[in-house]
Structure 1
Amino acid sequence: MSGSVLIAAGGTGGHISPGVALAEVLAEKISNFGFEAVYLHSLVRNKDNPDLLNPPCTVLWHNVPQLGGLKTIIYPFLFLFPFIKTILLFHKLKVRAVIGMGGYSSLPSILYAILFRKQLYLCEQNCVPGKITRIFAKFSKKIAFSFPLTEEYSISGKTIGNPIRKRVIPETLNIRQNENLHEGKKNTVNVLVLGGSQGARQLNQMILKTMENPEIASKYKFRLLTGTSLYEETKNKSDGNAEIISYANDMKPNYEWANIVVARSGAGVLAECLVFGLPMILIPYPYAADNHQKENANYIESQGAAVSIHSTSDDPTRLVQILLGWKDHSEILREMGHTSLSLSNVNAAYQTVSYFFSDKV
């Protein structure tokens, strides 16, 4: 097959990161999959996204407006002009296949594939499929899932795992962080707290309150990635016992440092924690679309790699209870770490691309 393949990855980081991971594979082995070139299609507002600052292929920028609010009535008119530009550009670049990573920003690419009869493939990151997947599944040739879908959804596809960027993948797959924890020793347990790129005030406040417990403070060391917008606020409220970081472009050292991760339950964070064999305490974002973070967390918990806290407040009671329960039982962390690693798929990016284009390999 000649022509190019395009990856529509322009929404949030949860759509961009796995899209970039697929682009890495395609850029490296493009001829093996029967194409001449690979492109990423992303929103202009994502130009400062760390994954797109040094991309593995050319990024095509667009500015399709978000659907919703007062713009709903006039949305078709706002959408039309950038969509026409997209059509002309894709024709020029000979786009023959489109991979949609989800989110409204993938709509121009997906519509192009449908209208001009190009091959369409979809990647679904969450246990609850997004609107793009639900609406356009019948038009796609193949769909790859990061995690099994919840029972209420019946969409044909293959569960492979969330594609992970090369720079995040550990050098060796093991659970060395928790193998060195032993009962009866004064081991310090490192807790990495991740609120996402925008941060999470709830998580930050919950951790600061948790650290007020003297037993917790004596056993656990916390590192908070607060998000840039919440850094000063969290730093000012901290008593100095926690390591406060606004944002990290390179997450690998943080994962290698950690014994436990406290985080939201977006698919990207889950996939990265799994490949590092990390036990998780998951606090799903309660207002996520279709409550997909809750279902993601429930799945990981059901497999034994995490414990979930479903709360909209920063009350630390349940978190304190969990950490105190683990304080003298490092075997729990080791077992959860083994389970976490067993759920991972470090080769998800290559396997996803191979699944989509297996007839061309």
Structure 2
Amino acid sequence: MVAIKASAVDGFVARPPADVYAVLVHGPDAGLVAERAAKLASQAVAGSDDPFAMVRLEGDDLAGDPGRLADEALTIALFGGKRAIRVRVGGRPIVTAVEALLSGPQPESLTVLEAGDLKKNAPLRALCEKSPRAAALPCYPDEAGARERLIDEEMRSAGLTISADARSLLSAHLSADRLAAREEVKKLCLYAMGQGTITSDDIVAVIADAGEVGMDEAVDAAFAGRPADAASALRSLRTSGTPASVVVAAALRHALTLHRMRGDVDSGRSSRTVVESAGGMIHFRRKDAVERALSRWTGARLMEATARLADTIALARKSAAIGEAASERALLAIATEASRFAR
């Protein structure tokens, strides 16, 4: 077969051609490789009552006994029907074993080869892409569209819906690994079972990293000129084990982002337009806080804040003993300063 494009892989997995009996599933996304391999194999033995219909082999074992793969593939199922053979490709070459399979008679089984990231000229990949009896399916980290489909699949399966804000927050926090992402969504659905619609609060409770959310709250409170809220967020973070020096690093990144956005505002664009055009750089839960910060901070003041935060980080690296106190003081000083001016 010709090489299967990444965009066509899901369609292939749903309806694999009858004349293809060896499929190489490969790529850097190990979770996606495992998920697609499992789906292909389970579909091949669907309806079978034979406990031996699913066979698992190690590629390194086949490298020392290349004829075994073809023998397993040609073995007739004990109770009839198709068999599936899942082979985990290791460090030793198994091209000879796969060539023996593809050059022999068509078996009543499907062989699924699971491999890591293979270069285009890798012998196993080249063999499966060129053979009319085989196919090679690339698995790359989830793109936005694939992640949305994953969320939709699990929502339908659980009989739940999800709000637009919650969907955006969920997508932003899901792992790039397909298997890990699916487990996270399943955990969320279990948590929300029976309530009908999943909200942003559910995402924060189950999936969003509490430290990350807390840092955002501390940073936003500081640049919005709310010293009391900033101090409260810092206390909560300290209790949970997140040092203030880490929050200062997040504040420095945020100050640099605000400075770039402030330049757009100074060129004549509104704060709202600049924030909206930032897209995924600014999470939707923070947009109002960022817009308020842009109305308070000038470019010059943001440069001063950036220098102060950078100096604090340098001090914390030199002396951990005083770094935490200095970090908290720097953040509270920014909050106090922001409270004194507004545009």
Structure-2-length-normalised TM-score: 0.31
Larger % of strand: which? 1
TM-score normalised to the size of structure 1?
A: 0.30
In our comparison, the structure showing a higher alpha carbon Rg is 2
Structure (1 or 2) with the greater helix fraction:
2
